[in-house]
Amino acid sequence: MKKVIIAGIVLITSFFLNSAFAQCNSELYVNKSMKSLESGFQFSKSYRIDGRGGTRKKVEYTCVFSKDTNYQIRISGKDGSAQGLIGTLYDSKRNKMVSSFYNNKFLEGWTFKCRATGIYYLSFTFQNSKSYCGAAVLAFRR
């Protein structure tokens, strides 16, 4: 009987601990991502990437990009650097433009030299992520 109660307490405690770890404080990673922006790029927006412990497979945002503008994305997450996080850009027709998972590496981001004004989709997905938590920032330069 005692063993069962102890097992129960351990189970509940571990669940509480897991829940606490599952909380995603994206704000932390916004600041980290911002610091890795290349000089000359002006910060424009931040994106919170909270996969809610793996229950959300994709976090997507819509962007309006302007022609003749360079856009830079920087990603950082709880697993360290951009580990486990992938930022992919699609155009308005859902053609893939660029992904931060390149040559089997999780890159910290990319620079997109935009030549066509329009709607783009910025999609964040997870691959072998432990935390499902991070953030990205968007910056621009003419």
Partner 1 sequence: MRNLYSIILSITLLVGCGANNASSSESPQQLAGSVDPVQEEASAVDDDIINDILQSIPSPLEISLLIKEVGSVYNKADLNDPGRVSNYNTNFDKALNLGIYGTDLGYSNIYNKNQDALNYLNSVQNLAEGLTIGQFFDYATLKKLAESADEDLEALLRTTTANFEKINYHLREQKREYLSILLLTGGWIEAVYLTTLVHNRTKNEVLKEKIGEQKIVLDRILLVLDVYKTKNGFGELITDLKKLQSIYDQIEIETVYGQPTMVEKNGVLVVVDNTKSVIKISDRDIDSITSLLKSIRNKIIK
**Rounded least distance, CB 24 to partner 1, Å:** 6
Site for partner 1 in 69-128 (CB under 8 A): 69, 89, 91, 93, 95, 97-98, 100, 102-103, 107-119
CB of residue 9 vs partner 1: minimum separation in angstroms? 9
Helices vs strands, H then E, count in the chain = 2, 10
Using rule CB under 8 A, residue 42 touches partner 1:
yes
Q: Which residue spans within 1-142 are E strands per DSSP?
A: 42-50, 58-65, 69-77, 85-90, 96-99, 101-102, 105-106, 109-114, 118-126, 133-141
Q: How far is CA 77 from the centre of its chain?
A: 7
- The distance of closest approach from Cβ of residue 128 to partner 1 in the complex, given in angstroms and rounded to an integer, is 19
Question: What angle is formed at CA 135 by the lines to CA 142 and CA 36, rounded to 5 degrees?
Answer: 50
Q: Which residues bind partner 1 (CB under 8 A)?
A: 1, 4-5, 7-8, 11-12, 15-16, 19, 22-26, 34, 38-39, 42-48, 50, 52-53, 55, 60-64, 66-69, 89, 91, 93, 95, 97-98, 100, 102-103, 107-119, 140, 142
